[in-house]
Amino acid sequence: MQNHLLLQIILFFSITLVAQTPENETISPTTTKPNFILIVADDLGFADLGFNGSTQIKTPNIDVLAHTGVICTEGYVSAPVCSPSRAGLLTGINQVTYGYDNNIGGNQPGFDPQYLGLPVAQKTIAKKLKPLGYTSGLIGKWHLGEESQFHPLNRGFDEFWGYTGGGHDYFTSAIDGKGYQSPIECNYKTPKPITYITDDKGDECVAFIKRHQDDPFFLFASFNAPHAPMQATKEDLALYSHIKDSKRRTYAAMIHRLDVNVGKIMAAVANYGIKENTLIVFISDNGGPTNSNASINAPYNGQKGVLLEGGIHVPFIMNWPNRFKAGTIYTKPVSSLDIAPTFLELAGNKITEEDNFDGVNLVPYLLNKDTRLPHQELKWRFTISAAIRDGDWKLVRLPDRLPLLYHLPTDISEQHNVSLKHIDKTKELLQKLGNWDVGLPHPVFLEGAIWKQRQLSLYDEKYQLTQPNQE
């Protein structure tokens, strides 16, 4: 393990040397307030990173980010699909407490499209960082509403290069395009035609860091890789030509290109002299949709769209050389809801009850100054399903069967439902979950009803629970 870590660190420094700053550019001094970079992958399988055990897909840059920072092995998101997960992520508040427990799709009959997005009363990280002297930029995917009141430039972000929908073609767009062909929006320059969108996002992230290196900033690097459509460059496909399954081959190539661009961001903060004072967080917005992009969530059961571990247990890295010891492994449950309060307290904002955060500032926990659990309980509700994790126990409630109860330390892959064997624990968790559930507001919008049946069927699928071989 030590030799492996040494090789990863050597690789990181070799990468930064390749991307040196031009001679005529100055290196800025470290700012007092930390910079924040939030890197979010889209539909990434838990198993498909080197530091999580993958030998089939190579991710040297993300691995270095992990091994030189803190790996949170029990990292969760607040929803198993993109849009509500991102709503919770950017507000620090469990999105179902303000009616956001569906994915954004077309508006459904009986609902006002003016509410089809992140409620305007909810403040984002960017909005709350603004009075603290931060410049905030969003590069990439938004997926929190397309009406003007939901637009990122109206939600605290100063700069935006990207698209407001939930996905995009990797090679093309159209001036009057819709959906995956929508045009790239930008408020600080005229966007050039897309080359390969993962590369374009990486380049825009580096440019943002360069522009704002002298003052505190928040960069939301919102990648869509490896979300559909499944598209990779010929060069990257050639790197994985040995993988026989064509979809898995394309997926691996897309992850490779994501990793390359994470490397660009890492090199930029090093080259501009702000690495020590920059907190980088890397997560996926939900588990991999194994049935559509050939991702693998091993050793976790389930996938995107369900509340089994495979849908909500994600890669979770926090890297901050100025404060966090390299090689730290943190094994207590943490949540994407913790990111907002962590950033805000580090920026100098005192958290109060009025913030209504469901997350906590993770720094005291990661530094072992607070040895308690950051969260004794974590709760989820998503359309047809609800779940609670209480310590080592997790219960999932579905409409067509008895509750699912798992003891996670002895059943990490959720293969043994012990709800009848531990009936008292089942009753206890059902009551806790139910009391919380009935106090939640009605959804402010719904996705199409067809998705409910699809989600339910995913609980009956068989999932790969081990790493694949090289093939």
Tokens of 76: 């969760």
HSE, side-chain direction, 13 A CA sphere, residue 41: 31
Q: Look at residue 88 in the predicted model and tell me its pLDDT.
A: 98
Contacts of 80 (CB under 8 A, 6+ apart): 286, 287, 304, 305, 306, 307, 311, 312, 380, 382
Q: What pLDDT is stored for residue 308 in this prediction?
A: 98
pTM attached to this predicted model = 0.93
Return mean pLDDT, the chain. Answer: 94
Predicted local confidence at residue 25, as pLDDT: 33
**Residue 6: is its pLDDT beyond 60?**
no
Residues 59-82 have a mean pLDDT of 98
pLDDT > 70? residue 20: no
Q: What letter does residue 118 receive in the DSSP assignment?
A: S
Between β-strands 328-330 and 75-76, what pairing exists: parallel, antiparallel or unpaired? unpaired
* pLDDT at residue 451, rounded to an integer: 94
Residue 300: what pLDDT? 98
The catalytic residue positions are 82, 143
pLDDT at 379 over 90: yes
Residue 83 pLDDT > 90, yes or no? yes
The secondary structure of the chain in percent helix, strand, coil, rounded to multiples of 5, reads 35, 15, 50
Q: Which residues contact 316 (CB under 8 A, 6 or more apart)?
A: 71, 72, 73, 75, 76, 281, 282, 283, 334, 336
Closest CA to 229 of 171, 287, 144, 311: 171
Backbone angles phi, psi at 390, to 5 degrees: -125, 100
pLDDT digits (tens, 9 = 90+) for 158-201: 999 999 999 999 999 999 999 999 999 999 999 999 999 999 99
Instruction: Quick: pLDDT tens for 208-223.
Output: 999 999 999 999 999 9
User: Mean pLDDT across the stretch 404-420?
Assistant: 98
Tens of pLDDT, residues 55-67? 999 999 999 999 9
- CB count in 10 Å sphere of residue 214: 12
pLDDT at residue 470 in the model: 75
Are residues 138 and 160 in contact, defined by beta-carbon separation less than 8 angstroms?
yes
- The pLDDT of residue 64 is 98
The contacts of residue 245 (CB under 8 Å, 6+ apart) are 294
Per DSSP, what are the bridge partners of residue 163?
141
* 170 vs 209: CA distance, rounded Å: 23
Q: Can you say whether residue 87 is alpha, beta or left, with left for phi > 0 and alpha for psi between -120 and 50 degrees?
A: alpha
Alpha carbon dihedral 227, 233, 239, 241, in 10-degree steps, equals 80
The band of 32, judged by pLDDT with boundaries at 50, 70 and 90, is confident
pLDDT of residue 469: 85
Tell me the pairing of strands 393-397 and 404-407: antiparallel
Q: What percent of the chain has pLDDT over 90?
A: 92
The DSSP call for residue 106 is S
Q: In what order do the strands lie in the sheet with 404-407?
A: 377-382, 385-390, 393-397, 404-407
Q: What pLDDT was estimated at residue 15?
A: 41
Q: Residue 17: its pLDDT value, please?
A: 35
Rounded Cα–Cα distance for residues 145 and 116 (Å): 6
Dig out the tokens for 163 from the structure.
Answer: 């698209």
The answer to whether residues 84 and 443 touch, using CB atoms and an 8 Å cutoff, is: no
